[in-house]
């Protein structure tokens, strides 16, 4: 076994240790440790990605002396490595971009805990991406839940406390359903490893045994993870939590945490149950429907919002809808679109939140639309980042968001009549709505009004913020320009997934 | 504006139903009309009332009675949710394999291997300990960190800096800190009982941790016992005296060392196992205390971590810090 | 009584677990009092442990601790659910502590445990 193949496991285990060490260090030292470690994990994940692309296959890494059904194991393929690289890079850039906010918003002696939570969150995201075992997924989902709630409440105010409480309650409902699903599935198959369950489920499905329990289990998984990833009817906690947290937290929560749960759901659907069972049970029809509703309602919610960060949070609801529409089309193309959307949204939304944080800096700490008028002129770098992000969200060619819309349209064209018409209509309406709130926002931040209050203001860029903005912009444009490579990698990854 | 409020109410309704009376009481001017109950006013009100269309009148009625109606509906809705969920889940139970039979699907080759090979492969006679710390050790590593992340979150929420407490500043302006006044400071019965129970719970905890490989128990249960001993100690003999040997620094030291060494041990174990190297861990004599290879040190690390965390929870909920 | 309903009584642990889960879930979802929400959450988790423990039990067998070198699998019950319950309990303790700490802070701030009222107060503060 080559050294590179150990990297995923090192990323998971030592992110935990990095978190533990950050808890005893002082704020600055914890920051340096956390950033260094995140840079390292990004590099390691990139190495793993190159390795898997070169070998053009996946490998199983057993966590211990024993093989799969006895021990734990992780599975590393092109898709997993791609996600891990993107997530850890985005985490690093989000932390950099909001660094001064973190130090301003957290209580001074508790700042180090922010980095603890980030490291633990990163570890759980790695574990969710790589895991091949349902119970491991549950344990790390819980770490993810607590750490992400903590990220919201580390900015100490009454509003974040209430937002955290609501977020936590909804998350707990979700994980309760998820755990019950695992437990019942264990009851009827006796396995926890994904491949073994898949075998048993296929056998049960062909004999028609346990038909109702299987349906209920799929329902429990779908609802549980949909609540945690804020699919439309369960999204009410999201705008508060993402709107009130500090800039980096909002970026990380919107860009990465929601996606972690969706990746688990994709794994459960296609590696545990298989396309055949999922299609027969028709649960994904509901996911499709709710995804379409989320695309529309999320955008409508964003349209009504007068607060920049809450608007972006509502936009996340709509974007999660795209992912679910992709999953709900239950075709290979649909799944490719969903995975591309996970990546595209992960590189776009954090940039918008970071830029929003920058605007708050130059607008006296306010984040309502009227207060940030002209902020793009006072903070041109943030303005450019926001514009790129907004154009990408609308779906202008050569930006990341366009790739998703293209893939999703192709997937829709390849599906059945009603699904095709619904999906195409939803994409069209959603694009229009996106334009309706992002374009005025762009005009607003570059407007000439509102400069008089800030005559003497001179923006001095912090290196971390500038680096983060530039890197995000390049990442986004690169994603759009070299989309065929990304889509190709995703396609190959999904083939290795057994799709 | 009205529309927006309607939507936000509706979205709240989906989750919690945050309808409050205040939003439903009538506007001051309207109220004044009703309060002054003169004939003219009554006439005026009725004219005003009949002038408005039916939906508006309905809204008015809802404004006055809406909260009660909503409350009742909310209760009924929750009962319906509860019954539907239970019905769906019970319909699953109907199809499940019968309780206690030896041919249910969960009894398969994995279980057989865990039972028949644990002693040989992990050196532990307690196959549950063998399973959670060796076979599925990665899960348990995650589990220990769940406890850690929760402890950190509680620290974020409740910890008060000692210097700020001395100055009388608490986390929130509303926080009174009066709980501290109700603590018993020298309760004779408590102290006598604690003198007996504290050593006992420590010894029992230690016993459970060390014998985790051969008997029921292990790091988590033993650690909880030791944590209970610490809490009892602090309740009976005062917080200050416990702080002398177990304070903030000690807590962080023990916790970091335990978790870091646990992660290192697991990393070594996994790395060697995955790459097919021999890990040179002596498995010990099955059935004796020194057995189970890495399981014993892992149990000790987990036990100390759990004890720390339990005490940390107690100390923080007492409105203060370690 | 039809045959399939008899199964509910054969699997009485599972039946009880599901009823408890339903009650806990509804309490966590719909109750307004934060402490009761936490109690509901603990109900929910306890129900899952009961279900798991029932799944692991096999009539007439011993706890999975090897005695006297007897490693015949047909002597012992299933050890896996025990391990899962252990993990579940630790997770539930952690989350309960976190929830309680949040509740403490909210109570100190707003002097009420009613989540609706707290939400309302925060909204009013913002406006």
Q: Do C80 and B171 touch (CB under 8 A)?
A: no
DSSP-derived secondary structure letter, A13: H
pLDDT at residue B2 in the model:
46
pLDDT at residue C2 in the model:
73
* Chain segment C11-63, per-residue pLDDT in tens: 889 899 999 999 999 999 888 899 999 999 999 999 999 999 888 888 888 88
Residues of chain A with pLDDT under 50: none
Inter-CA distances, A178 with A146, A172, A216, B103, C15, Å:
16, 10, 11, 26, 19
Q: Do B110 and A154 touch (CB under 8 A)?
A: no
Closest-CA distance, C68 to chain A, in angstroms, reads: 24
CB A381 within 8 A of CB A300: no
CA atoms B233, B238, B243, B245: torsion sign: negative
Where is A179: in which H helix or E strand? Answer: helix A158-189
pLDDT at residue A90 in the model:
93
Judge whether A199 lies within some domain.
Answer: no
Cα Rg of chain C, angstroms: 21
Helices (H) and strands (E) in chain B, counts: 14, 0
Q: Do A183 and C105 touch (CB under 8 A)?
A: no
Minimum CA–CA partner of A175 in chain C: C45
The three-point CA angle A342-A135-A284 to 5° equals 45
Judge whether A103 lies within some domain.
Answer: no
pLDDT at residue A143 in the model:
93
Helix (H, G, I), strand (E, B) or coil at A103: helix
- Judging by beta carbons within 10 Å of its beta carbon (0-12, 13-18, 19+), is residue A89 exposed, middle or buried? buried
Closest-CA distance, A30 to chain B, in angstroms, reads: 14
Inter-CA distances, A425 with A17, A282, A409, A478, B232, Å:
48, 22, 10, 29, 65
pLDDT at residue B19 in the model:
44
| Nearest CB partner across the interface for A188, out of B105, B269, B275 | B105
Its ipTM equals: 0.94
pLDDT at residue A171 in the model:
92
Any idea where the domains of chain C sit in the sequence?
3-126
| Nearest CB partner across the interface for A146, out of B150, B161, B266 | B150
* Chain segment C42-52, per-residue pLDDT in tens: 999 999 999 99
DSSP-derived secondary structure letter, B135: I
The model's confidence at residue C1, banded by pLDDT at 50, 70 and 90, is low
Closest-CA distance, A162 to chain C, in angstroms, reads: 7
Which chain B residues are closer than 8 Å to A143 by Cβ?
142, 145-146, 149
CB of B146 within 8 Å of a chain A CB? The answer is yes
CB of A91 within 8 Å of a chain C CB? The answer is no
Judge whether A39 lies within some domain.
Answer: no
Higher pLDDT, B106 or C101: C101
Long-range Cβ pairs for the range B192-198 (8 Å, 24+): B193/B236, B194/B232, B194/B233, B194/B235, B194/B236, B194/B237, B195/B236, B197/B229, B197/B232, B198/B229, B198/B232, B198/B233, B198/B236
| Nearest CB partner across the interface for A190, out of B105, B149, B256 | B105
CA distance A256 to A342: 9
- Could you say which residues from 78 to 117 on chain C have a Cβ atom under 8 Å away from some Cβ of chain A? 80-81, 84, 87-88, 91, 94-95, 98-99, 102-103, 105-106, 109-110, 115
Q: Which of B88, B163, B312 minimizes the C-alpha distance to A217? A: B88
pLDDT at residue B13 in the model:
52
Per the structure, the count of domains in chain A is: 1
CB of B139 within 8 Å of a chain A CB? The answer is yes
CB of B58 within 8 Å of a chain A CB? The answer is no
Residue C122 has pLDDT above 90, yes or no: no
CB of A231 within 8 Å of a chain C CB? The answer is no
pLDDT at residue B264 in the model:
92
Judge whether A204 lies within some domain.
Answer: no
Range of the domain at A438: 283-499
The β-bridge partners of B284 are B291
- Kindly report the CATH number that applies to the domain delimited by C3-126: 1.10.287.3510
Judge whether A351 lies within some domain.
Answer: yes
Rounded to the nearest 5°, which phi and psi values hold at A59?
A: -135, 155
Residues of chain B with pLDDT under 50: 1-4, 15-29, 31-33, 169-175
- Judging by beta carbons within 10 Å of its beta carbon (0-12, 13-18, 19+), is residue A122 exposed, middle or buried? buried
Judge whether A332 lies within some domain.
Answer: yes
**Interface mutation vs chain C, best among B24, B157, B176, B291, most C CBs within 10 Å:** B157
- Could you say which residues from 250 to 289 on chain B have a Cβ atom under 8 Å away from some Cβ of chain C? 286
Cα Rg of chain A, angstroms: 22
């Amino acid at each position: 076994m080559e050294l590179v193949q150990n990297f995923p496991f090192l990323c998971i285990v030592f992110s935990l240790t990095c978190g533990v060490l950050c808890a005893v260090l002082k704020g600055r030292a914890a920051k340096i440790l956390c950033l260094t470690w995140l840079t390292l994990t990004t590099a390691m994940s990139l190495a793993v990605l190159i390795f898997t692309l070169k070998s053009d296959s996946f490998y199983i890494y057993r966590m211990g002396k024993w093989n799969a059904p006895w021990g734990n194991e992780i599975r590393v393929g092109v898709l997993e490595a791609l996600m891990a690289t993107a997530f850890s890079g985005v985490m690093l850039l989000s932390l950099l971009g909001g660094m001064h906010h973190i130090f301003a918003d957290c209580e001074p002696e508790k700042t180090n805990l922010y980095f603890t939570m980030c490291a633990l969150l990163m570890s759980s995201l790695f574990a969710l991406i790589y895991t091949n075992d349902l119970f491991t997924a549950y344990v790390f989902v819980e770490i993810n839940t607590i750490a992400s709630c903590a990220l919201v409440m580390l900015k100490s105010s009454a509003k974040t406390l209430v937002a955290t409480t609501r977020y936590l309650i909804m998350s707990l409902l979700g994980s309760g359903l998820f755990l019950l699903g695992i437990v019942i599935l264990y009851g009827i198959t006796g396995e926890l490893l994904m491949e073994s369950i898949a075998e048993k489920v296929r056998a049960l499905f062909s004999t028609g045994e346990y038909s109702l329990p299987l349906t209920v289990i799929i329902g429990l998984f779908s609802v549980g993870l949909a609540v945690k990833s804020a699919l439309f009817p369960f999204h009410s906690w999201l705008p508060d939590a993402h709107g009130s947290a500090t800039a980096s937290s909002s970026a990380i929560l919107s860009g990465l945490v929601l996606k972690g749960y969706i990746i688990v759901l994709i794994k459960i659907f296609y590696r545990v149950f298989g396309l055949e069972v999922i299609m027969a049970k028709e649960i994904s029809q509901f996911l499709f429907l709710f995804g379409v509703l989320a695309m529309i309602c999320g955008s409508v919610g964003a349209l009504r919002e007068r607060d920049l960060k809450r608007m972006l949070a509502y936009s996340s609801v709509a974007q999660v809808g795209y992912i679910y529409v992709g999953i709900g089309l239950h075709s290979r193309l649909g799944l490719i679109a969903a995975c591309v959307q996970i990546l595209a949204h992960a590189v776009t939304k954090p940039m918008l939140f970071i830029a929003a944080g920058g605007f708050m800096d130059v607008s006296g700490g306010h984040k309502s639309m009227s207060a940030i008028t002209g902020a793009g002129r006072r903070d041109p770098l943030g303005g450019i980042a926001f514009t790129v992000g907004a154009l990408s969200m609308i779906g202008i060619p050569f930006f990341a968001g366009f790739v998703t819309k293209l893939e999703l349209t192709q997937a829709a064209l390849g599906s059945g009549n009603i699904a095709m018409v619904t999906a195409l209509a939803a994409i069209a309406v959603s694009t229009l709505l996106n334009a309706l709130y992002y374009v005025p926002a762009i005009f607003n931040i570059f407007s000439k009004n509102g400069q008089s209050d800030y005559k003497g203001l001179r923006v001095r860029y912090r290196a971390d913020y500038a680096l983060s903005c530039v890197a995000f912009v390049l990442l986004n444009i690169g994603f759009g320009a070299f989309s065929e490579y990304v889509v190709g990698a995703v396609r190959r990854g999904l083939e290795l997934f057994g799709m | 504006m009205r529309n927006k409020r309607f939507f936000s109410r509706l979205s709240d309704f989906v989750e919690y139903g945050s309808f409050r009376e205040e939003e439903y009481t009538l506007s001051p001017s309207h109220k004044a009309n009703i309060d002054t109950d003169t004939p003219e006013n009554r006439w005026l009100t009725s004219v005003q009332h009949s002038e408005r269309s039916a939906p508006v009148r309905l809204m008015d009625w809802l404004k006055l009675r809406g909260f009660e109606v909503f409350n009742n509906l909310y209760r009924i809705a929750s009962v319906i949710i509860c019954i539907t969920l239970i019905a769906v889940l019970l319909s699953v139970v109907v199809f499940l394999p019968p309780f206690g039979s030896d041919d249910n699907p969960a009894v398969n080759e994995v279980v057989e291997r865990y039972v028949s090979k644990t002693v040989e492969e992990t050196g532990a006679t307690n196959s549950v300990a063998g399973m959670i710390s060796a076979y599925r050790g990665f899960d348990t590593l995650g589990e220990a960190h769940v406890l850690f992340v929760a402890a950190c979150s509680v620290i974020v929420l409740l910890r008060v800096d000692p210097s700020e407490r001395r100055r009388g500043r608490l986390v929130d302006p509303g926080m009174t800190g009066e709980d501290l006044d109700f603590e018993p400071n020298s309760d004779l019965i408590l102290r006598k009982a604690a003198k007996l129970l504290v050593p006992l719970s420590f010894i029992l905890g230690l016993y459970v941790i060390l014998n985790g490989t051969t008997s029921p128990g292990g790091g988590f249960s033993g650690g909880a016992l030791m944590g209970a001993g610490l809490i009892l100690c602090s309740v009976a003999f005062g917080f200050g005296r416990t702080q002398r040997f177990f304070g903030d620094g000690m807590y962080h030291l023990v916790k970091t060392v335990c978790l870091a060494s646990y992660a290192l041990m697991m990393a070594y174990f996994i790395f060697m196992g995955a790459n097919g190297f021999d890990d040179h861990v002596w498995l010990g004599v099955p059935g004796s205390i020194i057995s189970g290879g890495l399981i014993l040190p892992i149990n000790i690390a987990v036990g100390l971590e759990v004890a720390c965390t339990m005490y940390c929870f107690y100390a923080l909920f007492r409105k203060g810090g370690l | 009584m039809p045959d399939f309903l008899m199964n509910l009584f054969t699997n009485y642990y599972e039946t009880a677990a599901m009823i408890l889960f339903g009650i806990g879930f509804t309490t966590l979802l719909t109750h307004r009092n934060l402490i009761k929400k936490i109690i509901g959450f603990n109900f929910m988790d306890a129900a899952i442990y009961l279900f798991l423990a029932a799944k692991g039990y096999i009539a007439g067998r011993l706890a999975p601790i090897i005695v006297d070198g007897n490693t015949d699998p047909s002597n012992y019950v299933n050890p896996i659910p025990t391990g899962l319950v252990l993990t579940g309990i630790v997770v539930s303790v952690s989350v309960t502590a976190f929830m309680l700490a949040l509740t403490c802070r909210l109570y100190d701030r707003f002097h009420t445990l009613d989540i609706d009222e707290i939400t309302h107060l925060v909204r009013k503060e913002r406006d």
